[in-house]
Structure formats: C-alpha cells, structure tokens
Amino acid sequence: MRFFLGGYSADMGGRAEGVGTLLAGNVGDVSAGGELARRAEVSVRADSPSWLAWHPTLPVVYAALEGRGSLQAYRRIGEESFVRLGAAVEAGEAVCHLAVSPAGDALIAACWGDGRLVRISLDAEGRPSKPTVLAAASDPYALAGMSHQTRPSRAHHVRFLPRDTIATTDLGLDLVRFWRGDPARGSHDVALPRETGPRHSRWHPSEHLFVVTELSNELYALAPDASGQWRVVAGVALSPGALAGDAAAELAFSRDGRFVYAGLRGSNTIAVVEVRGDGAQLRPIALVDSGVDWPRHHVVVRDTLLVAGQRSDEIAALALDERTGVPGRARRRVDAPSPTCLLAAS
C-alpha cells in the first residue's frame, strides 16, 4: 500500500525535503501490515508540506506549506510524481490543516498562527484561487468575564460533515465552530471547558463528532439537539496514565468504529477509548507505547496502526488486536524525515 508523507523541512526546523512516499507491503495491498519502505527521492519538493489532502474526484493533492503560510496544489502525473497546479495561494500564518469540500469546488484552510479560516475556491481542474477569510472567532470566556487577558485565536482543524455542515476547531479559544450552508453567513460556536484546547476532530459512524483536546488530553463527543443546535454530550480523559505536559495530537477509529486511538506527544503513547451505546458512552481502556518519539499523526488500515514520529524521524507499524482494540508493540519501522502527515494514495 502506498502513502504520501507530509513533513517539516528546514524552514520549520525539520529534515524533510518535500512530500515523500512510503510503501507498506506491496503497492496493491489493501492492508498496511507488510514491510515498510521509503522512497529515497521525494515525490514533490516543497517547504514544510505539513498537511496533505486529496481532491474528492480529481488526481490533485493540496499541501499546506506551514512555514510559508500558503497552500499549493499538485496534479498527479504518475504513480509517485506530481507537478504544480497553479500558483501558491496565501492562507495565513502557520497554515496547519485544510479540507476539501465533497463537491470539490472549494477548500478551507486553518491557520494556527493567526487564527484565520480561509475559504479558497477551486476551478474545474482543481486549481485554487480567490481566498476569502471567514468570520473570526471570539473568546467565549472573555465575554463571560472569566478571562483576564486577551487570548489568541488558533484555528487548527476543518472537517466537512453531512447535511451541508462544516466543523472547525479553535485551539486557542476552546471552541468548536459549526458552519451551516454558506460559511460567509457565520458560525454557531460551542465552547469546551476553558484551556482544553480542541485540536482535531473525527466524524463517527454514530453521527457524533469526536474532538480531541491538545491541552487537557480529553475526548469529547458533540451532537445536534432536536433543534439542530450542536452541544457537548460526553467527555472523558484519554487515560489516567497520561503525563503532565502531554499534548494530544491525532484521532483515528478502528475499522468498525468501536475504538478511538489518540496520540499523546510527550509520553509518546497511544490512548485507546472504547465507544459504547449510541456513541456517547466513552470508556478509556488502554495506554500503549506508540513506538516513536512525538506521535504527530497516525492512521488505521484494517489491523495496522501506522504512526508518524515527528522527532524520531520514522514511521512505525503497530498491529491492532481487532477484538480488544489494543495496539501491540511496533513490529516494523522505517526512517522518514520529520513526518507530520500520512495520506493514503488513491
């Protein structure tokens, strides 16, 4: 199975030279449980392409060039080769995540550095242009008189949901923001507890939005009520064994959606949470070694968890026990410079 690797290059203190290519087993395998190998040559030379996302219907991949504050589209011309598609488009300071709409007509980029959320139009070939900055977030705790200092907005993640809804996280202001229909019309914001730091989200088959918090190392479930207003319906600590100073990173689900895997940077572990009932009953069940230093990103492929170790410059493969949901120790690993994102090749 083939994956493309985002990473930090020298402009962000890393060793990557662009978008790399990882093989897990044979190219045509549907599992990632085989031997790991990395191509020596990069597929795309770029400065810190820290997040990668596919167009839903075209052979086009989009890269958030975090250090440059811009995004670049690349058209795939071979199994592991790309060319630039159009010019880079300015997004904002430290653009760290982007997601493409299911219709393929636009993408939204989140910028950690200045808090901006930027909608960028895509033409029929997937070429980006016409950036529009969405409405800025407001600190809910400042409005409530609970914050005695100005806190910066830190937009961090974007997810397109069913029913024409977009969810974004703001790590700095403890917000999950929901945009219905045209995002220019503004958002409905849900505040998580102060200083939790919502980072990334996943849409669960139970139709709950799960959000992991970087600062408090918790998992929250959100859902709309009968009127369509989103609210928090559950929350749990990722693990009682998490260490002070841990910083949660990515979320992934087991193949059946029964288990949630969250990476904890610092202790370098993977927390496992079981999902029960209607999807709002959450139970931490394990905390295991991630096999890498600073598990920035991870993906589940059937019975294998692939983990990107940003600081150990490697990718590790952990076998998953699909009955208990618990990952075993790393059984395979391969060198990879400063990896930050794993994107399965389409």
Q: What is the mean pLDDT of each run of 10 residues along the chain (346 residues)?
A: 97 98 90 92 97 98 98 97 98 98 98 98 97 96 73 98 97 98 94 98 98 98 95 96 90 97 98 97 97 98 96 98 95 97 94
Q: Which residue has the tokens 């407001």?
A: 138
Q: Which residue has the tokens 């950690």?
A: 112
Q: CA-CA distance, 162 to 11, in Å (whole number)?
A: 37
DSSP secondary structure letter of residue 337: S
pLDDT of residue 242: 78
How many other CB atoms are found less than 10 A from the CB of residue 139? 21
Q: CA-CA distance, 293 to 314, in Å (whole number)?
A: 9
pLDDT of residue 244: 85
Q: Which H helix or E strand runs over 101?
A: none
Q: How far is CA 2 from CA 79, 131, 175, in A?
A: 9, 32, 35
Beta-strand relationship, 18-24 and 60-65: unpaired
pLDDT of residue 218: 98
Contact indicator for 72, 46 with CB cutoff of 8 Å: yes
pLDDT of residue 341: 98
The strand pairing partners of 178, in sequence order, are 167, 188
314-320: strand order across its sheet? 295-301, 304-309, 314-320, 327-335
List, in order of start, the domains of the chain with CATH numbers.
Answer: 2-344 (2.130.10.10)
Q: Which residues of 34-69 are buried (b: 16+ CB within 10 A; e: fewer)?
A: eebebeeebbbebbbbbbbbbbeebebbbbbbbbbb
**What would the 3-class secondary structure string for the chain be?**
CEEEEEECCHHHCCCCCEEEEEEECCCCCCCCCCCEEECCCCCEECCCEEEEEECCCCCEEEEEECCCCEEEEEEECCCCCEEEEEEEEECCCCEEEEEECCCCCEEEEEECCCCCEEEEEECCCCCEEEEEECCCCCCHHHHCCCCCCCCCCCEEEEEEECCCEEEEEECCCCEEEEEECCHHHCCEEEECCCCCCEEEEEECCCCCEEEEECCCCEEEEEEECCCCCEEEEEEEECCCCCCCCCEEEEEEECCCCCEEEEEEECCCEEEEEEEECCCCEEEEEEEEECCCCCEEEEEEECCEEEEEECCCCEEEEEEECCCCCCEEEEEEEEECCCEEEEEECC
